[in-house]
Structure 1
Amino acid sequence: MNRLFWTLGLAALSLGSCQQQAPVQEQAAPTAPTPPPVPGPNLATLGDSNAVAELRAYGQQYPGSEVLLETRLGNIRLRLFDDTPIHKANFLLLARKGVFNETVFNRVVKGFAVQGGRTENRTIRLGRYHLPPEITGEHFHRRGALGMARYDDDQNPGKLSSSIDFYMVQGEKLTPYQAQAMAGRKLTPEQLRAYETTGGVPSLDGKYTVFGEIIEGLDVLDKIAAEPVDAYKWPLKDVGMKLTVVK
């Protein structure tokens, strides 16, 4: 019995070795299509001498009005103002180029504002440039206002805005007397009412450009403002962001 099994097994092995296997054709893994380049000026070549002209042309050719800001704490929808065209075009351009997606909220002051847009780990080359102020009496620092920061006040008499550091106002509710005392200019009845009913930071009025506002997600703003921070007002757990132009 054992010999028969061994003989049959040997015969089967011999038969199998005589059969020729068809060559296996290796298929190359499909490659993802290369996305088309994002239109707009080369960010690396932007500077104070050409930024305004480049941004003005870009805003006219590639308009937009609403941006979705996604975070781990929820989403915020922003509306950008038409009467601040340079700040608006700059924000649209950097959002579409993915610049803000590499950044986090790096300054959070509860009851005041949350600020983001800066990083030390940027992979997208970005020239150094500033934005001329587009400060209007119509737009003020009520709760939910979107503005652009600035630096070096002693060397920046023209109140030029940063190109990347934006902030969103949380603020606190203020009596008309408190709001007027904090403001750097005469407030209108509408502004006094807004500061009293919804809150804000009137001390920033007339000093920084407000170029948009939150239209959805004020609760998310409050969540970001409530994050624990270190001595430098940087959240202990990073709050990253993804910005997408949606309209």
Structure 2
Amino acid sequence: MNFKHAAIALSLLLLCGCQQKDDSAFIISTSYGDMKITLYDDTPNHKKRFNKLVKEDVYNEVLFHSVQQEGVAEGGNPASRDVRPNRIIGENPIRETISAEISATRFHKRGAIGMRNGASSEFYIVLGKKTTKEDITQLERESFFKKGSAAIEKLFIQHQDSLSKLENSGDSIALLKFQEELIAQAKNEISAKETWHYSDEQIRAYREYGGLPALDGEDTVFGEVTEGFDVLEKIEHAATYPDGRPKENIVFCIRKE
């Protein structure tokens, strides 16, 4: 290939590259204005799924059907399209679901975009509230207790036959000793595993901007709002019915930036 042909080939390659749209940057156009969002590369399955849903126009004129102040703004069900505010929204027709991609570095700060485990197309934007360091510490304790209780229950089920035999024998001392051994084993298993701890960055973000730290480790955070927080605030303060359904439809569309 001579220099001229190489230059032409390079120009075409650069041109094609410039024409490709970023698969991480999107605009959510709502009744209140536009928000720019960015999807994370380290949640690739959610990123790929979101791109697919946008391409298929699933998010074309659908609703934020639930808005909870200091909670989340949730939407993305195609069955909500053209449904009046006081009408029931039908079941989501999209059956394909997606498994969680939970990362300790992605958390539910204000403006974070998340999906519940097993969701199909519905997603939420975190509103939340400002949280103190003491609140975070309490959440860590509750998380440890929850995991510990689950581990104890699992071990008790695994050793149900042995526990039943001891109970039927009437030897309450032996039964209590065995139960204590199982509880200690569960505690050691949980302590040995990596448990959820909030980083300094997370604590600072929750204290300064707010969010929903209680959801960390439960749902997948796969993106965040980068511009248009004034729009998010308008959505948060929209008048709603007791169940969180906005009294006036909040319609949105999503397109690539």
One of 167, 181, 191 as aligned partner of 2:138: 181
What is aligned with 1:106? 65
Aligned position for 1:169:
126
Superposed, 1:1-247 pairs within 5 Å as: 64-120=23-79, 127-149=94-116, 160-183=117-140, 184=143, 185-246=196-257
User: Deviation above 6 Å: which 4+ runs of structure 1?
Assistant: none
Counterpart contact for 2:59–2:78, Cα < 8 Å: no
Query: 1:221 is aligned with what amino acid?
Result: L
**8 Å contact 1:161–1:209 — kept in the other structure?**
no
The Cα offsets for residues 157-216 of structure 1, whole Å up to 9 and x where unpaired, read as: xxx330211000011111111123235432111111111111110000000000000000
Which residue identity is paired with 2:126? V
Asked if the contact 1:146/1:166 (under 8 Å) is kept, the reply is yes
| Structure with more relative contact order (C-alpha pairs < 8 Å, separation 6 or more) | 2
Cα distance per residue 1:56-105 (max 9 Å; x no partner):
xxxxx996011100011011100000010111111111112111114100
Computing the radius of gyration from Cα coordinates, the structure with the larger value is 1
**CA 179–121 in structure 1, closer or farther in 2 if over 3 Å, else same:** closer
- TM-superposed deviation, 1:127: 4.1
TM-score by length of 1: 0.66
| Structure 1 unmatched ranges of 5 or more | 1-60, 150-159
Aligned partner letter, 1:109 = Q
Sort the Cα spacing of 1:239 and 1:121 in 2 relative to 1 into closer, same or farther, 3 A: closer
SS at match of 1:195: helix
User: What's the CA shift string for 1:93-126, capped at 9, x where partnerless?
Assistant: 1112111114100110011110001143569x96
The amino acid across from 1:142 in the alignment is: K
Q: Is the 2:96–2:120 contact (alpha carbons within 8 Å) kept by the matching residues of 1?
A: yes
Aligned identity (percent) is 35
**CA–CA distance in structure 2, aligned partners of residues 181 and 112 of structure 1:** 19
SS across alignment from 1:203: helix
The 1-side partners of 2:243 and 2:129 are apart by 21
Long gaps (5+) in structure 2: 1-19, 83-91, 144-195
2:210 partner letter: G
Letter in 2 for 1:93: K
Secondary structure at 1:137 match in 2: coil
Q: Which amino acid aligns with 1:164?
A: S
Paired letter, 1:70: S
Distance 2:46 2:208 in 1: 28
Query: Does the CA contact (< 8 Å) of 2:73 and 2:126 recur in 1?
Result: yes
